[in-house]
Structure 1
Amino acid sequence: MTIQIIFVLIFTLIIHLISTLSYSVRIVGIRTRKIAISFALFNIMVLISRTSNSFQAPLLAKWIENNINDGINPGTLEIRLIIIATTIATIIGGLLIPTFQRVLSNSVENFSLHKSVPRLILHGFTKTGISQFKKELKLPDKNNFSIDKSLWTGFPVKIFIYNILAVAILTVGVLSSLYAGFIEPDLRTTSSTLSAVVNGLATILMFVFIDPYLSGLTDDVIEGKFSEIGFRKIIRLMIFSRLIGTIMAQLLLVPFSKFIAWIATII
């Protein structure tokens, strides 16, 4: 395993850990009644995720270039390890959500007093901040690991399926476009720019169906039209569907890579 792949695995864990934790931001917004501040503070973590993403793709592209130049086709093992990293990150993120909710809720309340992100960050490294963080550590309840019929009350199954598909496609989109370079080495530059062909469907699912549904449901909870307990159950299902999506991505890697390589040959 090369140093490029090791760093890609680390960046992948960071990106998908933060993506999983994002599901809890709406819960924090509902609890604190400060949705805008909750998302604003979470955007600090999004910045970390995007920075990691900006390094991930070039490192992976460099690894592919080196192998092609050396006349080596290493197969899909390293790529599949990267997808496994997304699954592991999703599991870790799900386990950290109870703690993250408490930390973010406390951060929202502190920010409401000081209105300063730098002061909020510095406070987290003080003796008081560290002591407070230790108190907020919490493992998920055992009930959170069960998926029973009561969880599906008021939750459209199609949203669950859409999220599985969207996560699976987004997980494998860039990876398959880069791996297509092994299938058609002469068109690897073209292939690397075609991830949007695959990711387009996932983007439609996210922005047309999934995000509007969750946003509307968040407003319903705030207005008292839907229970907070019910909303938490739906978030559990969304995380579970995300986990399934990362596993499903393993099945899509080769077909999507071949599809992108084919597109690269005909355009």
Structure 2
Amino acid sequence: MSTQVIIVLILTIIITIISTLAYSVRIVGVRTGRIAVSFAVFNIFALVSRTANSVQAPLLAKTIESTIKAGNPQSLLSTFRWILFSTTIATIIGSALMPTFIKVFEKVVESFSINRSIPKLLMHAFSKSGIEQFKSSVTKPRKENFAHFKSFKMMPKKIILLNTIAFSISTVGVLASLYAGCLNPELRTTCSTLSAVINGSATILMVIFIDPFISILTDDVINGECSQLQFDRCIIFIVGGLIVGTILAQFLLIPAAQVISFIAKSI
């Protein structure tokens, strides 16, 4: 495994953990009542997670060029499978870290509301008291959280399904376009360009359907029309859908590459 691939795997794990933890920011917003501050941070996380996949292409460029010269595009499949597998593992890790992150971020939001300064917040985070607060916030996932999956009947199935599909598309988009370019070296520039279209469609799904629904649900909690427990359950199911989405991406890799290759030839 080349250095470039190892770097991609590490970045993929870090980025995916961040994007998974981003969903817990909404829970913090509801619990602390600091909706605007929490959502502002969520938007930063979401922007990073939804655009970071584009980093994979330049880092994998050398590996792809070597594969094309060798005339063996099938050898690239195992590399892409490992990248997708790392996404699944990172999503699971991110979901396991959510209880700890929620406690830490609650204190961050409260501290920011007092200091109203990012530099002061960072100084406090690395101070002795800040480190002690972080240690006291470390929390293991509770068994009760897994029990929430028994109440699937009351969950918004369409939203969870759309979020799962959108995440699987955004996860596989860049890799599928790169693989399509290996299958059709003469059209690899066109294929790589189509990755932006694919990721854009996934982002549109999230912006039109997922984000507004969670925002409305947040307002319902604030207005007392929805319980905190139901809101937490919805977020848990959405995060569970992310894990399923990364697994689904494994099955979409080759079909998506074939579709991209067909579109590239048809343009």
Shorter-normalised TM-score: what interval? over 0.9
Distance verdict in 2 for CA 1:43–1:243, change over 3 Å: same
Alignment length, in residue pairs?
A: 266
Q: Take 1:190 and 1:21, find their aligned partners in 2: how far apart are those partners? A: 34
Any unmatched runs of 5+ in structure 2? none
Distance verdict in 2 for CA 1:195–1:52, change over 3 Å: closer
Q: Take 1:4 and 1:135, find their aligned partners in 2: how far apart are those partners? A: 37
Q: Confirm or deny: 8 A CA contact 1:181 1:188 kept in the other structure.
A: yes
**Alignment map for 1:206-225 (pairs within 5 Å):** 206-225=206-225
- Name whichever of 196-205 and 218-227 sits farther off: 196-205
Distance verdict in 2 for CA 1:255–1:53, change over 3 Å: closer
Distance verdict in 2 for CA 1:43–1:117, change over 3 Å: farther
Q: Confirm or deny: 8 A CA contact 2:23 2:42 kept in the other structure.
A: no
**CA deviation after TM superposition for structure 1 residue 166, in Å:** 0.8
Amino acid at match of 1:106: K
Amino acid at match of 1:100: F
Amino acid at match of 1:215: S
Amino acid at match of 1:125: F
**CA deviation after TM superposition for structure 1 residue 63, in Å:** 1.9
**CA deviation after TM superposition for structure 1 residue 118, in Å:** 1.6
Distance verdict in 2 for CA 1:79–1:45, change over 3 Å: same
Q: Take 1:242 and 1:130, find their aligned partners in 2: how far apart are those partners? A: 31
Q: Does residue 1:98 correspond to 2:99, yes or no? A: yes
Q: Give the corresponding residue for 1:228.
A: 228
Q: Take 2:53 and 2:161, find their aligned partners in 1: how far apart are those partners? A: 26
Q: Give the corresponding residue for 2:261.
A: 261
Q: Does residue 1:251 correspond to 2:251, yes or no? A: yes
Amino acid at match of 1:138: T
The TM-score normalised by the length of structure 2 is 0.93
Q: Take 1:44 and 1:6, find their aligned partners in 2: how far apart are those partners? A: 26
- Name whichever of 19-28 and 194-203 sits farther off: 194-203
Q: Give the corresponding residue for 1:166.
A: 166
Q: Confirm or deny: 8 A CA contact 1:103 1:136 kept in the other structure.
A: yes
Q: Does residue 1:203 correspond to 2:211, yes or no? A: no
> 1:51-71 CA deviation, whole Å, 9 max, x = no partner?
955643310233212321343
CA RMSD of aligned residues (A): 1.9
- Name whichever of 37-46 and 104-113 sits farther off: 37-46
The TM-score normalised by the length of structure 1 is 0.93
Q: Give the corresponding residue for 1:31.
A: 31
Q: Give the corresponding residue for 1:10.
A: 10
Q: Give the corresponding residue for 2:192.
A: 192
Distance verdict in 2 for CA 1:50–1:16, change over 3 Å: same
Q: Confirm or deny: 8 A CA contact 1:164 1:244 kept in the other structure.
A: yes
**3-state secondary structure, aligned to 1:262:** helix
Q: Give the corresponding residue for 1:57.
A: 57
Q: Give the corresponding residue for 1:125.
A: 126
Q: Take 1:55 and 1:196, find their aligned partners in 2: how far apart are those partners? A: 12
Q: Give the corresponding residue for 1:76.
A: 77
**CA deviation after TM superposition for structure 1 residue 148, in Å:** 4.1
Q: Take 1:120 and 1:4, find their aligned partners in 2: how far apart are those partners? A: 35
